[in-house]
Structure 1
Amino acid sequence: MSDTSEIDTLIEARWVIPVDARQSVLDNHAIAVHQGNIVDILPAHVAQAKYNTKKNVDLKSHALIPGLINTHTHAAMILMRGLADDLPLMTWLNKYIWPTESRHVDDTFVFDGTRLACAEMLRGGITCFNDMYFFPEAIAQGALATGMRASIGMIAIDFPTPYASDADDYLAKGMALRDKLQSNPLLSFCFAPHAPYTVSDQTLAHILTYADQLEVPIHIHLHETTDEIDISIKSHGMRPIERLHQLGMLGPNLIAVHMVHLNEAEIQLLQQHGCHVVHCPSSNLKLANGFAPTPLLFDQAVNVTLGTDGAASNNRLDLLEEMRLAALLAKATSKRADTLPAYHALEMATINGARALGIDAFTGSLESGKAADITAIDFSDLHLSPCYDPVSHLVYAAGREQVSHVWVNGNILLENKQLTTLDEADLHRRALYWEECIKSSI
């Protein structure tokens, strides 16, 4: 681009933290954005001389980071937040969540819940989420109505729901949806078998075949609880991860969520096969599932990402909080203060998630040629002063209340803490409507 070229937007900031291999922190830099992409990152004074801009955004007290990537959630379950807290996972599912879903979940519920979740995620700096839930077309439409990037789970489970009658029906509907929407630049797709205890070998084998043919990831809950492992040993004579290994499912397209209960041999398997792990610290803590052995996974160079899980089991969609928890838990469980330093925690919430989803060519870091998926964090609050290390502050001190601006694909979706694509009053009305529906059926 010539020195006199016009660009859409120039964003100037106190710091730009691109999340690159050098672990750079760039002082007083600017990001030049044109037609949805980053075209340059350079010192602010040089940028002012080099570019004519349609819009200049001056964020002199802010840090710019890649948009956060929530690698595992069930967005629409935000409409069940707080419905049944302080219960073990299987009790929570069997007595409360699954019965509520059978009564109320349809495409309208999912669309409304997804938009509400998108509002919360945007306010927390999340630009992309990987979702697993029923009625995935409603998830996609909810994300698109917001302007967020989303990886849509083609869910599969071996029992009927209002969405599908059997495993073949789930898969057929999911693949038809992918065929319909895969050209949209904001959407990608994953196969999403719920968990080994709800999906048969036959269904998993079909998914593996389709995933290999279509070159899409497989996103599955795995080794979340000791109950899950006990059920697998009783039913299959082996632990769940060994079952998946025998089926040929371990590979670089596997995104394994939770992975709380792992032994050394299983961690070696993950490393050898290039699998990805999604760490959901708040959900694991709240459901009393234990502590994922993330330090051992890091030691084996397994790609570990971060997810919030659904708001029904977290109860927040706050990836900044997950970064802090992940770092603190890794230090406590390893008894090493240097485990999971702040920059690595930021990588888990950005580029590591993009790699797992297969979208790192165009998002997950701030680089020329990538999509302008950018989050701005305001460091002007008193409790963020003084600042010796902005990355440390991001992980250990800042909160989602400091997120001021969010861009996805160059479009501003949060501006001065105000949502630009969603009607907050309408979101409140729809949330209250579903609250009354659910309360009346309990």
Structure 2
Amino acid sequence: MKSYRADYVFSIDADPIKNGIVTVDDAGKIVAVGNQPPPDAPVEQLSGILCPGFINTHCHLELSHLKDKVSKSTGLVDFIRHVQQFRNVDRSEAIEATLKADAEMYENGIVAVGDISNSNISLEAKKQSKLYYHTFIELFSFLPENAKTVFDNGLELVKEFKPLSASITPHAPYSVSKDLFKLLREYCETHPNLISIHNQECEDENKLYRYKTGKFLELYEGFGIDISYFKPQARNSLQTIIPLLTNKQKILLVHNTCTNLKDIYFIKRFDRQINWCFCPGANLYIEGRLPKTELFLEQGFNITLGTDSLASNTSLNLLEEMRLLQDQVPSITLSRLLKWGTINGAQYLGIDDEKGSLTVGKTPGLNLISDLDGFKITADTRVKRIA
């Protein structure tokens, strides 16, 4: 066993402990948390706070080879064009990049990841990884006639990732037809199937659904996709798709850059298991703006954090995502940010029996956060994996 004392221990499931001690065994299982070490156990003194390993609920591991290749602040539609332009590379290069990205997340204290995949490129890294992965096989088709083929292909790709945890999921409102949403909802009635969907990353998504205007029309035309069948809905994209989503499975709405209070209130009218995921680094990289985070704080929803991909972020560091949100809304406490980055993500992924809090019997990982300004994260604050 090993015992570590720090200035504070944030176990997440209890109040912070000043001069707290965490004891773990060789397998990383929590043996004790408190102010007293087990008998005859040497204690290593650390400077900073101890907390559980981080849970990254939104990443695209297979896009890791696009690091520094996609321009910043272009807006989502041009970002999509650039990703498609640079996406296809030698398979070995793409796989090598996934291995490096996985190692980066490990070093940054991440212990579990909800990862988006459109292919099996990330499979090798996930099989070798020390991290827990749930893979979301993403479905794309805004053309109704392609819905069944795309859905069946998605199920086949899920099989390739088994026995690792995996599910099929819609990509985004602007890329999934009502027919494809219907197939997915029917599947979710009888199969365990976590959902993660990109939501309202830009105003053009809402413009498409409200008025059938905006830059997505140019994108479809450029890709040779005829959406003449699509009729404007006179409401935002989120309000349109919520009735199409299942009430049997947990749903993660990711990004939410342009989600407003009316959208939030609209959701509350429906019996849906909604979770929100914020990826501020990617929001700034792509759109140069952040969600109205303060709107979500007291609404009673589960909030999680993600890094998005190296195509849309400079690093895979959940502590940096916390700092960006803290800078945006200074009233957000460190305790709340750590909860978003640990137990909330674990609960969404269904692994909170093992991860997310420093609870005796769990194997949540153990992170040391140092160089804080009191309980504020600064540009100098660092995270180090301890166990």
Match of 2:314 in 1: 315
Task: Give the % identical residues.
Answer: 24
1:214 is paired with a residue of what secondary structure? coil
SS at match of 1:257: strand
The two structures have a TM-score, normalised by structure 1, of: 0.74
SS class of match (2:117): coil
Equivalent pair of 2:354/2:363 in contact (CA under 8 Å):
yes
Q: Which amino acid aligns with 1:66?
A: P
Q: Relative to 1, partners in 2 of residues 1:232 and 1:263: Cα closer, same or farther, differing over 3 Å? A: same
- Residue 434 of structure 1 aligns with which residue? none
Distance 2:208 2:130 in 1: 41
In the alignment, is the contact (CA less than 8 A) between 2:9 and 2:20 conserved in 1? no
Q: Which runs of 5+ in 1 are unaligned?
A: 1-8, 183-187, 332-337, 408-442
> What is the CA distance between 1:322 and its match in structure 2?
0.7
Structure 1 contact 81–311 (Cα < 8 Å) conserved? yes
Structure 2 residue corresponding to 1:211, chosen from 188, 195, 211: 188
- Specify which of 108, 117, 134 is matched with residue 124 of structure 1: 108
Question: Shift of residue 299 of structure 1?
Answer: 1.7
Residue matched to 1:403: 383
Alignment of 1:253-264 (within 5 A): 253-264=250-261
Cα displacement (A) at 1:126: 1.4
Would you say 1:11 and 2:3 are equivalent positions? Answer: yes
Tell me the SS of whatever aligns to 1:197: helix
Q: Give the match's secondary structure for 1:242.
A: helix
Matched, 1:135 2:119: yes
Q: Deviations over 1:318-347 (max 9, x none)?
A: 21111011122124xxxxxx3x11211111
Q: Which residue of 1 aligns with 2:351?
A: 359
The answer to whether 1:89 aligns with 2:86 is: no
Which one-letter code corresponds to 1:326 in the other structure?
A: L
Quick one: distance in 1 between partners of 2:43 and 2:249? 39
Alpha carbons 1:268, 1:300 under 8 Å: kept = no
1:268 aligns with 2:253: no
Q: Does 1:371 align with 2:371?
A: no
Instruction: Tell me the equivalent position of 1:437.
Output: none
Q: Could you say which residue in structure 1 is the equivalent of 2:175?
A: 198
1:74 is the counterpart of 2:60: yes
Alpha-carbon distance in 1 for matches of 2:17, 2:341: 17
C-alpha distance in structure 1 between counterparts of 2:267 and 2:166, whole Å = 22
Q: Does 1:243 align with 2:228?
A: no
Deviation track 1:169-193 (CA, whole Å, cap 9, x = no partner) reads 4322233135x314xxxxx334332
Q: Cα 1:30–1:131, aligned 2, differ >3 Å: closer, same or farther?
A: same
| Superposition CA RMSD, Å | 2.7
Q: Is the 8 A contact 2:172 2:198 kept in 1?
A: yes
Q: Is the 8 A contact 1:67 1:350 kept in 2?
A: yes
Q: Note the alpha carbon deviations across 1:116-171, whole angstroms, 9 max, x for none.
A: 111221222212121112224x42430331311112112211289xxxx9413432
Partners of 2:28 and 2:46 in 1: how far apart? 22
TM-aligned CA deviation for residue 280 of structure 1: 1.1
The number of aligned residues is 360
Alignment pair present for 1:104 and 2:89: yes
Measured at CA, do residues 145 and 254 of structure 1 come closer, stay the same or move farther in structure 2, by a change above 3 Å? same
In structure 2, the residue matched to 1:428 is none
Q: CA deviation at 1:109?
A: 4.5
Once residues 404 and 248 of structure 1 are traced to their aligned partners in structure 2, the CA distance between those partners, rounded to angstroms, is: 39
From 20, 23, 47, the equivalent of 2:38 is: 47
List structure 1 segments (4+ residues) > 6 angstroms apart after TM superposition.
none
Q: What are structure 2's unaligned runs of at least 5 residues?
A: 213-229
Distance 1:77 1:98, change over 3 A: same
Q: CA offsets per residue over residues 34-76 of structure 1, 9 Å max, x none?
A: 64532332435x3143x6xxxx783533532111111111123
CA gap 1:98/1:243 in 2 versus in 1, 3 angstroms: same
Whether the 8 Å CA contact 1:282–1:325 is kept in 2: the answer is yes
Alpha-carbon shift at residue 252 of structure 1 (Å): 5.9
Aligned to 1:302: 301
Distance verdict in 2 for CA 1:22–1:42, change over 3 Å? closer
- TM-score, normalised with respect to structure 2: 0.83
**Preserved CA contact (<8 Å) 1:258 1:278:** yes
Which structure carries more helix by proportion?
1
